[in-house]
Amino acid sequence: MAPIKFSHVPHFCSLQRSLLALALLTLLAFTYVSFTFLRPSSTDLSPNPPKVAVIGDLVESSEIYQSPGKNVDEFSEIYHLPDLFRLNYAEMEKKFKVFVYPDGDPNTYYQTPRKLTGKYASEGYFFQNIRESQFRTDDPDQAHLFFIPISCHKMRGKGTSYENMTIIVQNYVQSLMSKYPYWNRTLGADHFFVTCHDVGVRATEGVPLLVKNSIRVVCSPSYDVGFIPHKDVALPQVLQPFALPTGGRDIKNRTMLGFWAGHRNSKIRVILARVWENDTELDIKNNRISRATGHLVYQNKFYRTKFCICPGGSQVNSARIADSIHYGCVPGKEFYPFCLYSMVQKHFQWNTPPVKYDAFHMVMYELWLRHHVIKY
């Protein structure tokens, strides 16, 4: 075997060191630019903010900034673009219009859900609010989006099978396609429907046109049901009315580090419960707390806990996150400061009539954003 020559090794090492140095300099420069971009200094908060471009109805900017003013603190800590959010929200309130298809036969379930309480209340609140809101228009030519008011909630009470639910939904959509010209103009890309229970998700899964083309506003945005992040919208599942008032910055009264109670119906829940159930700093319960143990025991535990654990179960539709935010307990891995809860809580509150920045308006805001990126 020929001897190995080392004459070029020094040159190779020198080149290697140069490349390493260049990589480190690039990394440092990228890190500096990233931090400068994401967290502007006080000198950036000048009375002369950078230019803002309006593309269609959507306001955009190439820079993140916060202009001075007494209302800045309301959103500056929870939005990267507080001023742009405020501008786009104002545009939505001013211009956004939705055409609601007329209700179908009450016997075929195309009506407002049965009630505004329980874990499916979000669907009911949305149905009621959209009909009474400023966003509704009776002129389809003015509409940016079209709402298909299909609720499978009543089907559950009637004991209808999933196969028959799918047939009912499919027939209804077909009737809209044949009776109105709006679906066919975009193949349903500017249409949306709302469902806050697994029955609605299962019933519409068998209608590919809805799943693939239209915007799905659902309370179970898990990927195993084909949730498409850039197209679909997550509907906050809120158990209303809340049993107790909102929690706040009472950190001293929150003596327990973490709390969770629920069924161990997923692998992650089983593992976490096994590891944490004997930890004295954590309050871990197997199964949900029974009402027989006392009045509002479950809700009161949120007040006494700093962090509320929200592990995924058999589905992602859970009111725990909304409960945690309402009662002032930091949910899951989202370690927001306690002082921000008064700003965030209103986004997870359903009202009738709706109130500015509440859950209904934030869902409408998400739909407003989706309207600008529809492709067909």
Sheet holding 305-308, edge to edge: 282-286, 256-262, 305-308, 330-331
Q: Which of 227, 235, 232 lies closest to 196 in space, CA to CA?
A: 235
CB-based contact 81:64 (threshold 8 Å): yes
List the chain pLDDT tens, one digit each, 376 residues. 444 443 444 444 454 555 455 555 544 444 443 333 334 433 344 444 444 444 456 655 544 344 444 444 566 667 778 888 999 999 999 999 999 998 665 555 555 565 677 777 888 899 889 988 999 999 999 999 999 988 877 777 777 888 888 888 888 889 889 999 999 999 999 999 998 877 777 788 888 888 889 999 988 655 466 778 889 998 888 888 888 888 887 888 899 998 988 877 788 888 888 888 888 898 888 777 777 677 888 889 988 999 888 877 766 567 888 888 888 888 754 444 444 556 888 888 899 899 999 999 999 999 999 988 876 6
| Identity of the amino acid at 32 | Y
Distance CA 331, CA 93 (A): 30
Q: Which residues are CB-contacts of 172 (< 8 A; sequence separation ≥ 6)?
A: 104, 108, 110, 150
At position 220, the amino acid (one-letter code) is S
